[in-house]
Chains A and B, each alone.
Chain A
Amino acid sequence: MEDRYSLNKNLAQMLKGGVIMDVTNVEQALIAEKAGAVAVMALERVPADIRKQGGVARMSDPAMIKQIKAAVSIPVMAKVRIGHFVEAQILEAIGIDFIDESEVLTPADEMFHIDKRSFKVPFVCGARDLGEALRRIGEGAAMIRTKGEAGTGNVVEAVRHMRQIMAEIRQVQMLPREERMSFAKQIGAPFELVEYVAEHKKLPVVNFAAGGIATPADAALMMQLGCDGIFVGSGIFKSEDPAKRAQAIVKATAHYNDPAVLAEVSAGLGEAMAGLEIDKLQDQYAQRGW
């Protein structure tokens, strides 16, 4: 009997140590692939533009996603609204490699996330803490990423979420067994998954950083904090020289522990995207979902 969930977790494992880049057209997808991206996220507007333009943000046009799929050989991901399982059915029907049930789009359901176990295609979901990560995994997510705060070019929220998840993973390992059930109740996580984390000292799926990563140093920071790889949204194609910055972030993610490499790739990249301060935002996307 074929185990889709395990195959889907395996695909996420193959992406480790790599960079997944947001792209809005074929030209950008080719730049991303050439720069060494391990996957692209096909969407109509990057988060920075969604933030600026407002309105309801939805799944991208399947025609545009198909064009990008045809243009590159690396996996193609696309976003659906939280809870919008029909958008997910549509993406599965066009043979997408990975679905991001994303707080960057306007949520379609304020009560329930998608039942990801009813799909063959893998899902990645955002999380701010261990409880949220394990709830999404319980629903069938094959990969987790920090929510961070997308479209801001400000890494502070991604750092907060990664530190929180790593701290709780350390905490649960220290608990005597009789305290695990109360801990599961306290963080609102499935008990079996809390047990898994306690025994294996890590999440049962790959954990990437996302939301506000704009520089090679940001990427390396997240890697040193313990994530498995990097999503870059607006940070590349909202910067002055996207091709150069994309390559630099790929190198920084691979050599995240080598300051000499980081110094070299950080030099002469031109302007990074303009950043936003979190407390001045009208909408904090990380608050979406539960």
Chain B
Amino acid sequence: MHSGDGKMATIGVLSLQGAVTEHLACLNQLEIVRGVAVKTRPPLEKVDALIIPGGESTAIGKLLKEYDLIAPLQERIKGGMPVWGTCAGMILLANRIVNQDTTYLNVLDVAVRRNAYGSQLDSFQAQAVVEKVSPEPFPLVFIRAPYIEQVGPEVEVLLCLHGHIVAVQQQHILATAFHPELTGDLRFHRFFVNMLNEAA
């Protein structure tokens, strides 16, 4: 996978807090893109795509705001940069959070519920097919996960599990309530890299 100037494409992982190294390890295993940790504005301007990892959305959101990263990030996403939010990342992308007043990036037209399943005792594993991504079932890991309650007209639902929406795509924006980066299964990362191809 190459960016416009012929170099190997670079996918940033927002590394203010959370499961950053897990995503970087997956990206680098693909061997067709370069994964880099992104904490500040200069590298954010250079990456070809961005993953917002799992973590605590309040902590990551606070640091995005304090270091004035919200506007530049919105600008890049609105300009077509592919972005993928896992778990906390899904909450940060949403334009509505059902059980909270504050929102962050407001680029994904969904209403998301934080800690939708309850406490850590309610964290769970499951298996399901995400047809658009692969015909074989995925191992799914939900850690104090959110789910989506409503989607706007531009949003395609990729997976509904136990009656709740847990994976969506809105053009070049991908969001999953679960964590492919924790399973050793690289198909979702490969799918995201292909989104980069389509965006270009």
Instruction: Let me know if B120 and A75 touch, CB within 8 A.
Output: yes
Contact A16 B144 (CB under 8 A): no
| A11-B59 Cα distance, complex, nearest whole Å | 15
- Please tell me if the beta carbons of A14 and B55 are within 8 angstroms of each other in the complex: yes
* Mask of B35-61 contacts with A, CB within 8 angstroms, 1/0: 000011000000000000011101100
- The reply to whether A11 and B121 contact each other, CB–CB distance below 8 Å, is no
A19 contacts which chain B residues (CB < 8 A)? 59
* B side interface size, CB within 8 A: 36
> Which residue of A is nearest B21, CB measured?
A16
Q: Contacting B56 at CB < 8 Å: which of A6, A74, A95, A122?
A: A74
Docked CA distance A95–B16 (Å): 28
Complex alpha-carbon distance, A16 and B19, angstroms: 6
B136 contacts A by Cβ under 8 Å: no
Are B18 and A121 in touch, CB under 8 angstroms? no
Cα separation A31 to B195 with both chains bound (whole Å): 40
In the assembled complex, how far is the CB of residue B85 from the closest CB belonging to chain A, in whole angstroms? 14
Chain B contact residues: helix, strand, loop or mixed: loop
B59 pairs with A73, CB closer than 8 A: no
Does A277 sit within 8 A of B, measured CB to CB?
no
Interface string of A33-56 (1 = CB under 8 A from B): 111111100000000000000000
Quick check: B54 and A14 within 8 Å, CB to CB?
yes
| Complexed CA–CA distance, A89 and B17 (Å) | 31
- A-contacting residues, B151-165, CB 8 Å: none
CA distance A191 to B69 in the complex (A): 46
Contacting residues, chain A, for B20 (C-beta < 8 A): 16-17
Does any Cβ of B come within 8 Å of A27's Cβ?
no
- Whether A14 contacts B58 by the Cβ 8 Å rule is no
- How far apart are A87's CB and chain B's nearest CB, in angstroms? 17
- Nearest CB of chain B from residue A253's CB, rounded to whole Å: 8
A7 contacts partner chain B, Cβ-Cβ < 8 Å:
yes
Q: Does A96 contact B (CB under 8 A)?
A: yes
Select which of A15, A34, A121, A254 is within 8 A of B121 by beta carbon: A121
Residues in B neighbouring A60, C-beta threshold 8 A: none
Taking a contact as CB atoms under 8 Å apart, the answer to whether A17 and B55 are in contact is yes
Query: A10, B17: Cβ atoms under 8 Å?
Result: no
Q: A7-B141, A17-B20, A251-B66 are in contact. Are A73 and B120 (CB under 8 A)?
A: no
In the complex, are the beta carbons of A95 and B114 less than 8 A apart?
no
Task: Tell me the smallest distance from the CB of B155 to a CB of chain A, in Å.
Answer: 24
In the complex, the answer to whether A95 meets B55 with C-beta atoms within 8 Å is no
Q: Is A110 an interface residue (CB 8 A)?
A: no
Contacts of B62 in A (CB 8 A): 34-36, 250
- Whole-angstrom CA separation of A121 from B144 in the bound complex: 13
Q: Say whether B118 contacts A15, CB under 8 Å.
A: no
- Residue A255 interfacial (CB < 8 Å): yes
- 8 nearest CB pairs, A to B: A36-B62, A97-B120, A17-B17, A38-B56, A36-B59, A95-B119, A7-B123, A18-B17
